[in-house]
Amino acid sequence: MDFKISRSSRQCSVCSHRFEDGEKFHVGLITRPREEGVFDRVDICRPCWDRQGPGNVVAHWVSQFSREKKHAIYDPDFLWSVFHKCRPGAETEAAASARELSAVDRARFAYVAALGLVRMKQLKSKESRRTRKGEIMTLETLGRREKDRQRFEILSVSMTDDEMQAIQDRLSELA
Ligand SMILES: [Zn+2]
């Protein structure tokens, strides 16, 4: 199983500007037609993003360039890739490599990744509502303008502390 999306190219894919340590930029994912489970990643600097917007990306988020390698649970790019492969409604291509996980595990991975992203202020919790399937949370990415933001709905999975820890440990192994 491969949860990884290629690492940052360290430069803007539009104008080739090299990112500075700590610089914020946008990451976009593009699926390949006829190639299941393969994402192409594009890194776009802020001026280029402001000029051209999201275009044909299926998902996007704001990242921050860092020379340090982070632990999986504290690595927003890694959590985003897990989130986008496991969340309900994930594009079929994106979910292909996560298919060998049970539906229960997929929901748990998506939930734990989402909590990590909320903790790191990459996602904002907007509202939650009760349904027959359980509690559904609405999450939104940050962005200065409406077109920079995306909304997702995920199931809030109830887990004991031990179960939560076990999922976090398995996540680290996947990184
Ligand atoms: Zn650029």
Strand segments, DSSP code E, in the chain are 24-31, 39-45, 59-64, 123-131, 134-141, 151-155
10-residue mean pLDDT series, the chain (175 residues): 62 93 90 72 92 84 82 84 84 58 87 93 93 92 85 92 87 71
- 49 lies in which domain range? 24-174
- 145 assigned to some structural domain: yes
User: What is the C-alpha separation between 140 and 122, in angstroms, rounded?
Assistant: 9
Separation between Cα atoms, residue 101 and residue 64, nearest integer Å: 30
* pLDDT (0 to 100) of residue 1: 41
Our count of domains for the chain comes to 1
* CA 105 to ligand 1 centroid distance, Å: 38
- Dihedral Cα 6, 15, 69, 21, nearest 10 deg: -170
Q: Rounded to an integer, what distance in angstroms lies between the CA atom of residue 20 and that of residue 107? A: 36
Q: Is residue 4 part of a domain?
A: no
Residues with CB under 5 A from ligand 1 (ion): 12, 14-15, 17, 45, 48
pLDDT at 64: 87
Write down the pLDDT at residue 87: 87
**Cα 159 to ligand 1 centre (Å):** 42
* 26 CA → ligand 1 middle, Å: 10
